Chains A and B, each alone.
Chain A
Amino acid sequence: MELTSQFIQLIFSGLTIGSIYALIAIGFVIIYNITGLLNLAQGDFAMLGALTCISFVNMGFPLIIAIAVSVVIVTIIGGLFERLAIYPARNSSTATLLIITIGAAFVFRGISILIWGTQPLALRPFSGNQNINFLDATIQPQSLWAIGISLLSLAVLYYFFNKTYLGKAVTACVVNRFAARLMGISPQKMSFWAVSISAGLGALAGIVIAPISGASYDMGIMIGLKAFIAAVIGGLSNAPAAIAGAFLIGILESFTEGYLSSGYKDAISFTLLLIVLFFMPNGLFSKVSGKRV
């Protein structure tokens, strides 16, 4: 049963990392569709969330409060980032905006070096270290937390985007920015909310992954890029497809790590990205659509 237990273990670690990518990928989909922005600072929100939460826990706050407070703080940072860096440059070219987000990522990374140093920090697992045995496979309880929390947040997001006024306004901008403006929804306001919300989501993702992989100032860039790959594989305009893409990337990575070598992990994900971009530029799950001019 050695093979099946390894298989189950890899599936679970893939689902864990996939659920993290999913949270950030949704943020990407929201931001990209409202502002047309490829935000390379997205993963750094995860880093900021994780490190802030660790600080609060070390100060003696209960875990649940630490999580809530750090998510709120990073959400505010996200809003500030949108107002100070994105909003003033909203009419610039793609390359300029791309580099502005890189500049912001440098700022976040530099600040976290100043506050937390360069050494990785650890967060204790949410519920003990006792591993769970499932069909001969050992599963960390934190994996279940990660998968559970991201599924729960996805449910909350579904409610937010489909049932609340603000959520519907943001969705309207995602679907058709121009039409939304004609209906009296200000895309600029929605851009502020979109960046703030996805910053908060990113923070939550970072906190959930911190007990498994630790947290350090440079953890953001790869998480952010992988989440973006997931979003592109899903088609970029479709949140459920982005989530599916995120789990696909997560499982693919964990199998590469398990059966091949962790050195090839990034290359395999990006190869999948290139294949999707070249042959199915509208995403793996999309129906055929016409070319827009």
Chain B
Amino acid sequence: MDNNLTKIYNRSLKGPLIFFVVIMLLPFIFQSNNYILSTFIMIGFYSLVTTGLTLLIGYAGQISLGHAAFYGIGAYTSAYFTATLQMPSWIGILVGAIIASLVSLIIGIPVFKLKGHYLALATLGFGVIIFTFFKEWKTITGGLNGFFGIPPLSLFGISFSTDFQFYFLIWIFVFLGIFFARNIVQSRVGRALMSIHGSEIASEAIGININKYKLQIFVLSAVYASIAGSLYAHYVTFINPQLFEMMTSIYFLIMVVIGGIGNIWGGLIGAAIYVFLGELLKDIVPKIIPNASGEFEIVFFGVLLVVILIYMPNGISKAIFHFIKRITSNFKNKPVSAFSKKSTGSDIHD
């Protein structure tokens, strides 16, 4: 059985391992450059959220425009438990994940009866309602003034207070997250999710409990977002509600879609492209148009977004992997499995 799975799925660890080693070596090169380290740390937070979202959007084909809420739930729970209640960090992370999964379960039951745009709008509405909680529940969240003085993360007696230390922590979380997601995708659950993406009615007809799977994957993606939020709160030590408003959810969706739907690395690639593009535009655009103020570089961001999606509607990761495949197949003539093309799942339209 395992032999068959290796034919269908790409289970090789070579690529991911090389990538892991490169990522783990990077901070030694840029040890003194906090700008680069903090940029990579931001990519790490986003990757964790978008990997969970990729399972939901890319594999199960369900849109969520409310994931900033779970990111915020993680952040505020960690902040409250460590700063206000003086508890250890891991309790904050754990309780955040539990609250996020309960909330996602409660909201998920009615929400996943909806489809397409209604689903997008309902999750967006949910995000706005949770944002209002962050804003108005001042005794716990500090309201619009924000939550100050979150202690740095300490796990197993190690305190992660510098960018250099935090870098390793977040990227280990990211790789564990991606590895876990990959195992889910390459299992019975993953195949069920792809069939839901293909056709809900057909999946139901062959005996897949579509509501159960949608709900499970929604809860899982909420937990990913909540853990990322907890780590983020410890990293920045100050949070306010604006960090978790509707636009953040939209940015998460952007990362997932430009990264590539139907590829487990899509979330990471999308997050990296989003962050690098943002930094690049912030750097270049003022040199071209020096007199303007405000964040008008979003013009270029918007144009790029539209162009990328018109020419690569399946996201950039697909183009990248296609490119890598072409290069490597020039060097060695590996026999290609008959299944490999069908198993990506991204050709399926909804």
Contact = CB atoms under 8 A, between A and B. Distances in A.
A175 interface: no
Contacts of B296: 110-111, 113-114
A99 B57 contact: no
B253 A99 contact: yes
Contacts of A273: 121-122, 125
A104 interface: yes
Given A85-B306, A273-B122, 16 more contacts: A38-B121, A93-B349, A95-B257, A98-B63, A100-B305, A106-B299, A106-B301, A106-B305, A110-B295, A110-B300, A110-B301, A118-B294, A229-B125, A263-B132, A271-B129, A274-B129
A49 B94 CA distance: 49
The 5 A-B residue pairs whose C-beta atoms are closest, nearest first, are: A110-B299, A106-B302, A103-B305, A270-B125, A267-B132
Interface of B: 57, 63, 110, 113-114, 116-118, 120-122, 124-126, 128-129, 131-132, 135-136, 201, 246, 250, 253-254, 256-258, 261, 289, 292-306, 309-310, 313, 349-350
Given A106-B302, A277-B114, A99 B257 contact: yes
Contacts of A261: 136
B129 A270 contact: yes
Contact of A118 (B57, B293, B297): B293
B302 A38 contact: no
Contact of A266 (B113, B114, B132, B294): B132
A104 B310 CA distance: 12
Nearest to A265: B132
A167 interface: no
Interface string A105-142: 11111110110011000000000000000000000000
Given A110-B296, A277-B121, A293-B201, A263 B310 contact: no
Interface in A49-74: none
Contact of A113 (B118, B294, B313): B294
Interface residues of A, number: 48
Given A99-B305, A100-B310, A102-B250, A117 B293 contact: yes
A104 B306 contact: yes
B124 A225 contact: yes
Contacts of A225: 124
A96 B294 contact: no
A93 B350 contact: yes
B120 A94 contact: yes
8 contacts: A96-B257, A104-B306, A107-B306, A117-B294, A118-B294, A225-B124, A267-B131, A281-B118
A103 B302 contact: yes
B114 A281 contact: yes
A264 interface: yes
Nearest to B308: A103
B274 to A, nearest CB: 12
Contacts of A293: 201
Contacts, number: 145
B103 to A, nearest CB: 14
A257 B126 CA distance: 20
Given A110-B297, A114-B292, A89 B125 contact: no
A98 B253 contact: yes
B57 to A, nearest CB: 6
Contacts of B120: 38, 94, 98
Given A113-B296, A293-B201, A232 B306 contact: no
Nearest to B126: A274
Given A98-B63, A271-B129, A273-B121, A106 B298 contact: yes
Given A99-B253, A274-B125, A109 B298 contact: yes
Contact of B309 (A94, A96, A229): A96
A88 interface: yes
Chain B contact residues: over half helix, strand or loop, or mixed?
helix
Chain A contact residues: over half helix, strand or loop, or mixed?
helix
A271 to B, nearest CB: 6
Contacts of A118: 293-294
A278 interface: yes
Nearest to B297: A110
Interface string A155-166: 000000000000
Contacts of A266: 128, 132
A38 B117 contact: yes
A92 interface: yes
B251 to A, nearest CB: 9
Contact of A92 (B125, B128, B132, B313): B313
B189 to A, nearest CB: 21
Given A100-B310, A103-B306, A110-B296, A228 B121 contact: yes
Contacts of B304: 103
Nearest to B109: A278
B99 to A, nearest CB: 19
Contacts of B131: 267
Contacts of B305: 99-100, 102-103, 106
B50 to A, nearest CB: 13
Contacts of A36: 117
Given A102-B305, A106-B298, A110-B296, A95 B253 contact: yes
Contacts of B292: 113-114
Nearest to A217: B294
B240 to A, nearest CB: 14
Contact of B303 (A32, A96, A107, A264): A107
A29 to B, nearest CB: 13
